[in-house]
């Protein structure tokens, strides 16, 4: 499975600010995925990021709030914009395996005050 | 009804016990199934896939019952290190793309 790293691992931010989370994979992958896991909840897919095209967002998530970049086949960023306390969550990037299973990065724990 | 449902637990068992978790799914078109393990404050990690005929990996056995739309995970000879949250994941294909649906997880506590 791919080795995935994320930066930052955690952050505490003020409401109204934005945070960009980076995800690096040690091999080239077509699709990268961004998930959110709110406290005590399961994972929710935010968007799918394909290199060379616009990200595809799931219902309830919009590009203005969660802009995504995918400049190459090993890297992606997710920005959480104009943050509010409701955005406090763990944000995870992932890549798919040979059988569509997901392999996750270590996550970014975000707290918005 | 949730697309994927799990008993949140916690299941509190002694070391050496056998414990089983079930996970039900609502969409009969679901095609692939997995169990993930998530330790506290860590990312989910793939534990095992679930095959139609059932499959075993050491102390772990996964089974699929398509007729009743559930999957199960059996852990034998529980270890303290098995304490974690176990997430059931279902893959649903729609047109030419797929969607992973995660259960909310079942928490297992193995005590000495």
- Closest-CA residue of A relative to B39 is A106
Q: E strands of A26-106, at which residues?
A: 31-37, 43-50, 56-57, 68-72, 75-80, 89-96, 102-104
Which residues lie below 8 Å from residue A95, measured CB to CB, with a gap of 6+? A2, A4, A25, A29, A31, A32, A33, A102, A103
- Residues of B whose CB is below 8 A from A97: 46
Q: What is the pLDDT of residue A112?
A: 97
B45–A106 C-beta distance less than 8 A: no
- Closest-CA residue of A relative to B42 is A106
Q: How far apart are CA B4 and CA B26, in angstroms?
A: 7
Indicate the pairing of strand A10-13 with strand A108-112.
parallel
Task: Say yes or no: B75 contacts chain A, CB-CB below 8 A.
Answer: no
- Mean pLDDT calculated for residue range A27-55: 92
Does residue B42 sit in helix, strand or coil? coil
Residue identified by tokens 């929710």 is A44
B43–A92 C-beta distance less than 8 A: yes
Environment class of A36 (CB within 10 Å of its CB; exposed 0-12, middle 13-18, buried 19+) = buried
Q: How far apart are CA B16 and CA B12, in angstroms?
A: 12
Q: What is the pLDDT of residue A52?
A: 82
Q: What is the pLDDT along chain B (112 residues), one digit of tens a residue?
A: 788 999 999 999 999 999 999 999 998 888 899 999 999 989 999 999 998 899 999 999 999 999 999 999 999 999 999 999 999 999 988 777 888 999 999 999 999 9
Mutate to test the interface with B, among A102, A105, A107, A110 (most CBs of B within 10 A): A102
Residue identified by tokens 């993930």 is B36
Q: Is the dihedral of CA A90, A72, A26, B88 positive or negative?
A: positive
Contact B74, B61 (CB under 8 A): yes
Q: What is the pLDDT of residue B96?
A: 78
Mutate to test the interface with A, among B23, B100, B105, B106 (most CBs of A within 10 A): B100
Mind listing the pLDDT tens digit for each residue in A75-90?
A: 999 999 999 999 999 9
- Residues of A whose CB is below 8 A from B103: 42
């Amino acid at each position: 499975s791919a080795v995935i790293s994320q930066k930052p691992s955690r952050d505490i931010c003020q409401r109204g600010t934005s945070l960009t989370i980076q995800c690096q994979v040690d091999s080239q992958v077509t699709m990268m995925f961004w998930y959110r896991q709110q406290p005590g909840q399961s994972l929710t897919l935010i968007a799918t990021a394909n290199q060379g095209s616009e990200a595809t967002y799931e219902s309830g998530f919009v590009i203005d709030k969660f802009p995504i970049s995918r400049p190459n086949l090993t890297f992606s960023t997710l920005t959480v914009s104009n943050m509010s306390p409701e955005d406090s969550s763990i944000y995870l990037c992932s890549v798919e395996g040979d059988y569509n299973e997901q392999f996750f990065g270590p996550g970014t724990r975000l707290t918005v005050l | 009804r949730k697309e994927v449902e799990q008993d949140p637990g916690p299941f509190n068992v002694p070391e050496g016990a056998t414990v089983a978790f079930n996970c039900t799914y609502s969409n009969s078109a679901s095609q692939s199934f997995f169990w993930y393990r998530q330790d506290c404050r860590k990312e989910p990690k793939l534990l095992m896939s679930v095959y139609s005929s059932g499959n075993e990996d050491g102390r772990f056995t996964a089974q699929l019952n398509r007729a009743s739309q559930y999957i199960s995970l059996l852990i034998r000879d529980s270890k303290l290190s098995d304490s974690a949250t176990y997430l059931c994941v279902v893959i649903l294909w729609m047109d030419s793309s797929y969607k992973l649906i995660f259960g909310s997880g079942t928490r297992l506590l193995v005590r000495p």
